[in-house]
C-alpha cells in the first residue's frame, strides 16, 4: 500500500500504521445490541423469549411468537463518562448524546385453513431498524513524561527507515513529514541522523479524543409459528456505520534542560462510512409451556464499500520566533472492503406461569476472523495482526421479568469478554440494567436504565517508550419505549 495510506495516526497505538488497522476491525466487529427498553431491561437475554422487536437483530425466531401486529419506538439518551490514569495523573471527561434504540413494525398474518386445524399458526413480517453500537465518547489523557517524547519516537522511526530529508514529507505526509516541516525534527548531515530537542522527555503530554457516530441496522424479517411449539425466523440485515474521530495531541516543555522547544500541537481527523449486509436465521423450540430453547446463526457481515477520509496538521512553537510554523497534510481517502466474524447464539428461557421468566443467552464470536481486502492493495500485514491479536470467546446475557398485574419489573446483566489474546487493551465490558413497564391489550410503555463499564489500555505512541494510560469508560443510558398493537 502506498505510504500515503500507511501513515495515518492509529487510534490507541503506534503512530505509523495503515489507516485501516486491527483496532478498526475490532471496533466494527463488536456488537452491543440496543433496541427496546424491555430487551435492555433483561440484559438482552431474549434469544428464547421472543415477541420483542429487538429479536429481529438477535434471534429472528422471536418474531414467530407475535400474536398481533405492533408498532414500536425507542429513544435512548446516553451519558458517557471517562477517566484516565497516566503517569500518576487522573483526568476525566464526559459526553451527552441523544440516540434512537429502534423503530419498526410487525405485521401478524393468520393463515386461513377453512376450519381445518393446521400446523402453521401464524406468519409475521417485520421491518425497521435496531441500534448495534454507539461510538460517542470523549477521552482526556494528561501527564508529565520524564523519559520520552512523541518527537523522539518519530526520530527513531526516521533513523530506522533511512529516509533522506527531501523525501520525508512525501513518504510520511500525515505525521513524520508534518513534524519535519514544522521544525520539530531536524537532520544532522554529518552523522546522517535525525534528532529532536526533547530526546529524554521532560514534557507535559495531553491528548483529547472525541469520537462520534453509531452503527445501526435495517432489519427485514419473516417468521412463523408451527403448532405453538416450533418458531422460526429469518432476517436480512443491512447495517450502516458512521464513525468520526477528532483528536488533539499536545506536548509542552516542562524542563529547563530542553533547548528552544516550547510546544507542539498535533491535530487528527478521521471519518469512516460503510454499509453492509448479513443474514440471520433462528429457531425457538417450546417442548413444554414452562421451557424454551433458542438457537441462532448470524452470517459474517460483508461491508462491500467502506470509505476512510482523514487529514492532520501540526503546529510548533519555539523560543526562536522564525521556527514557529504550522504544517498541513493532504486529505487521505481510501475505499476498501471489510468482513466481520460470524456469530452463533444459544438461549434458554424458563417461564414461571403467569408470574415471570428467567432467561440466558450465550453468544460465540471469533474476532480473529475479521478481514480487510481491496482490489488496490494487499492487507496481509493487518489481517495477520488481526489473526494473532484476537481470540474466540463468548458473551453472556442474563435477565428476568416479573408480572404485577398490568405492570412488569425487570433486571439484567451482560458480560462481553476480552477479545484480546493477551491482557493488554483488555476491553471487557460489564453491563447491568433494571426497569419497569406497563402493558395493556393495545398499548405498552417501558423504561430501563442501563449502566455499563469498559476498561482498556491506551498508548500515546510507541509502547516501548511510553507507559499505557489506563482508561475506564462508564455509560448511563435510559431507554424509553412506547408501542401499539393492532
Q: What is the mean pLDDT of residues 404-410?
A: 96
Q: Which long-range contacts link 86-91 to residues 24+ away (Cβ below 8 Å)?
A: 86/141, 86/142, 86/143, 86/205, 86/467, 86/469, 86/470, 87/143, 87/144, 87/145, 87/205, 87/467, 88/143, 89/142, 89/143, 89/144, 91/140, 91/141, 91/142
For residue 424, what pLDDT band results from cuts at 50, 70 and 90?
low
Report pLDDT digits (tens) over 379-402. 888 999 999 999 888 899 999 999
pLDDT score at 11 = 32
The total number of structural domains in the chain stands at: 1
Q: How far apart are CA 10 and CA 153, in angstroms?
A: 14
pLDDT of residue 247 exceeding 60, the answer is: yes
For residue 88, what pLDDT band results from cuts at 50, 70 and 90?
very high
pLDDT score at 7 = 32
pLDDT score at 116 = 59
Could you give the C-alpha distances from 30 to 201, 229, 371, 390, in angstroms and in order?
37, 33, 14, 12
Q: Provide, rounded to the nearest whole percent, the portion of the chain with pLDDT above 70.
A: 94
- Main-chain phi, psi angles of 69, to 5 degrees: -75, 155
Report pLDDT digits (tens) over 436-457. 999 999 999 999 999 999 999 9
Q: How far apart are CA 330 and CA 109, in angstroms?
A: 56
pLDDT score at 472 = 95
In Å, how far from its chain's centre is CA 210? 14
Q: Please give the full DSSP string across 79-109, using - where no structure is assigned.
A: EEEEEEEETTEEEEEEEEE--EEEEEEEEEE
In terms of residue numbers, what domain contains 399?
Answer: 3-485
Report pLDDT digits (tens) over 271-297. 999 999 999 999 999 999 999 999 999
Nearest to 95 by CA among 471, 474, 459, 448: 474
pLDDT score at 19 = 65
pLDDT score at 9 = 32
Given a contact cutoff of 8 angstroms between Cβ atoms, the answer to whether 27 and 381 are in contact is no
pLDDT of residue 18 exceeding 80, the answer is: no
pLDDT score at 111 = 78
Q: CATH code at 472? A: 2.40.160.60
Q: How far apart are CA 471 and CA 114, in angstroms?
A: 64
Q: Provide, rounded to the nearest whole percent, the portion of the chain with pLDDT above 90.
A: 84
HSE, CB side, 13 Å, CA atoms: give it for residue 233. 42
pLDDT score at 67 = 93
pLDDT score at 156 = 96
User: What cell was used for 194?
Assistant: 535525525
Q: What is the mean pLDDT of residues 362-388?
A: 91
pTM confidence score: 0.89
Question: CB-based contacts of 161: which residues, under 8 Å, 6+ apart?
Answer: 171
Among the residue ranges 245-249, 255-259, 298-302, the one predicted with the least confidence is: 255-259
Report pLDDT digits (tens) over 29-73. 999 998 999 999 999 999 999 999 999 999 999 999 999 999 999
pLDDT score at 423 = 63
Cα end-to-end distance, the chain, whole Å: 56
Report pLDDT digits (tens) over 144-199. 999 999 999 999 999 999 999 999 999 999 999 999 999 999 999 999 999 999 98
Give one word for 380, left, alpha or beta, with left for phi > 0 and alpha for psi -120 to 50: alpha
User: What cell was used for 481?
Assistant: 419505549
Could you give the C-alpha distances from 359 to 5, 60, 412, in angstroms and in order?
47, 16, 9
User: What cell was used for 162?
Assistant: 533511512
**If you average pLDDT over every residue of the chain, what do you get?**
91
Its sign, for the CA torsion 33, 35, 38, 41, is positive
Nearest to 143 by CA among 246, 251, 248, 247: 251
Q: What is the mean pLDDT of residues 325-344?
A: 95
* Strands 469-485 vs 78-86: parallel, antiparallel or unpaired: antiparallel
> What does the CA dihedral 325, 329, 330, 332 come to, rounded to 10 degrees?
-170
Question: CB-based contacts of 355: which residues, under 8 Å, 6+ apart?
Answer: 402, 403
pLDDT score at 6 = 32
For residue 421, what pLDDT band results from cuts at 50, 70 and 90?
confident
For residue 246, what pLDDT band results from cuts at 50, 70 and 90?
very high
Q: How far apart are CA 202 and CA 262, in angstroms?
A: 11
In Å, how far from its chain's centre is CA 165? 39
Element spanning 396, H or E:
strand 392-404
Report pLDDT digits (tens) over 250-261. 999 997 778 899
pLDDT of residue 425 exceeding 80, the answer is: no
Given a contact cutoff of 8 angstroms between Cβ atoms, the answer to whether 198 and 152 are in contact is yes
Amino acid at each position: 500500500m502506498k505510504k500515503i495510506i500507511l501513515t495515518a495516526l492509529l487510534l490507541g497505538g503506534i503512530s505509523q500504521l495503515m489507516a485501516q488497522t486491527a483496532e478498526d476491525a475490532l471496533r466494527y466487529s463488536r456488537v452491543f445490541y440496543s433496541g427496546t427498553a424491555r430487551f435492555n431491561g433483561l440484559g438482552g437475554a431474549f434469544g428464547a423469549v421472543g415477541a420483542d422487536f429487538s429479536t429481529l437483530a438477535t434471534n429472528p425466531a422471536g418474531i414467530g411468537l407475535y400474536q398481533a401486529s405492533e408498532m414500536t419506538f425507542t429513544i435512548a439518551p446516553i451519558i458517557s463518562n471517562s477517566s484516565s490514569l497516566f503517569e500518576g495523573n487522573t483526568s476525566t471527561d464526559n459526553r451527552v448524546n441523544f440516540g434512537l434504540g429502534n423503530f419498526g413494525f410487525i405485521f401478524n398474518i393468520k393463515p386461513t385453513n377453512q376450519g381445518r386445524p393446521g400446523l402453521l399458526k401464524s406468519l409475521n413480517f417485520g421491518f425497521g431498524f435496531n441500534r448495534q453500537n454507539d461510538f460517542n465518547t470523549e477521552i482526556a489523557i494528561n501527564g508529565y513524561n520524564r523519559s520520552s517524547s512523541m518527537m523522539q519516537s518519530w526520530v527513531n522511526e526516521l533513523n530506522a527507515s533511512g529516509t533522506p530529508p527531501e523525501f520525508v514529507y512525501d513518504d510520511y505526509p500525515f505525521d513524520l513529514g508534518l513534524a519535519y516541516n514544522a521544525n520539530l525534527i531536524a537532520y544532522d548531515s554529518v552523522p546522517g541522523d535525525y534528532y529532536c530537542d526533547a530526546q529524554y522527555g521532560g514534557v507535559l503530554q495531553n491528548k483529547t479524543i472525541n469520537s462520534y457516530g453509531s452503527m445501526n441496522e435495517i432489519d427485514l424479517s419473516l417468521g412463523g409459528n408451527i403448532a405453538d411449539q416450533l418458531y422460526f425466523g429469518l432476517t436480512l440485515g443491512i447495517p450502516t456505520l458512521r464513525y468520526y474521530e477528532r483528536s488533539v495531541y499536545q506536548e509542552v516543555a516542562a524542563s529547563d534542560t530542553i533547548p528552544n522547544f516550547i510546544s507542539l500541537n498535533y491535530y487528527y481527523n478521521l471519518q469512516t462510512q460503510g454499509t453492509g449486509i448479513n443474514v440471520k436465521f433462528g429457531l425457538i423450540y417450546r417442548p413444554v409451556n414452562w421451557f424454551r430453547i433458542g438457537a441462532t446463526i448470524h452470517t459474517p457481515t460483508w461491508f462491500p464499500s467502506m470509505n476512510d477520509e482523514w487529514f492532520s496538521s501540526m503546529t510548533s512553537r519555539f523560543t526562536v520566533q522564525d521556527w514557529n510554523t504550522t504544517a498541513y497534510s493532504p486529505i487521505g481517502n481510501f475505499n476498501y472492503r471489510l468482513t466481520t466474524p460470524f456469530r452463533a447464539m444459544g438461549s434458554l428461557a424458563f417461564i414461571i406461569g403467569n408470574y415471570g421468566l428467567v432467561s440466558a443467552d450465550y453468544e460465540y464470536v471469533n474476532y480473529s476472523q475479521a478481514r480487510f481486502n481491496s482490489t488496490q492493495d494487499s492487507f496481509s500485514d493487518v489481517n495477520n495482526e488481526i489473526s494473532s491479536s484476537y481470540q474466540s470467546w463468548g458473551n453472556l446475557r442474563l435477565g428476568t421479568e416479573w408480572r404485577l398485574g398490568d405492570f412488569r419489573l425487570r433486571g439484567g446483566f451482560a458480560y462481553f469478554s476480552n477479545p484480546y489474546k493477551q491482557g493488554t487493551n483488555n476491553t471487557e465490558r460489564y453491563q447491568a440494567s433494571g426497569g419497569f413497564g406497563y402493558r395493556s391489550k393495545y398499548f405498552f410503555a417501558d423504561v430501563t436504565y442501563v449502566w455499563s463499564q469498559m476498561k482498556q489500555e491506551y498508548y500515546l505512541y510507541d509502547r516501548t517508550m511510553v507507559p499505557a494510560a489506563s482508561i475506564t469508560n462508564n455509560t448511563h443510558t435510559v431507554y424509553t419505549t412506547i408501542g401499539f398493537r393492532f
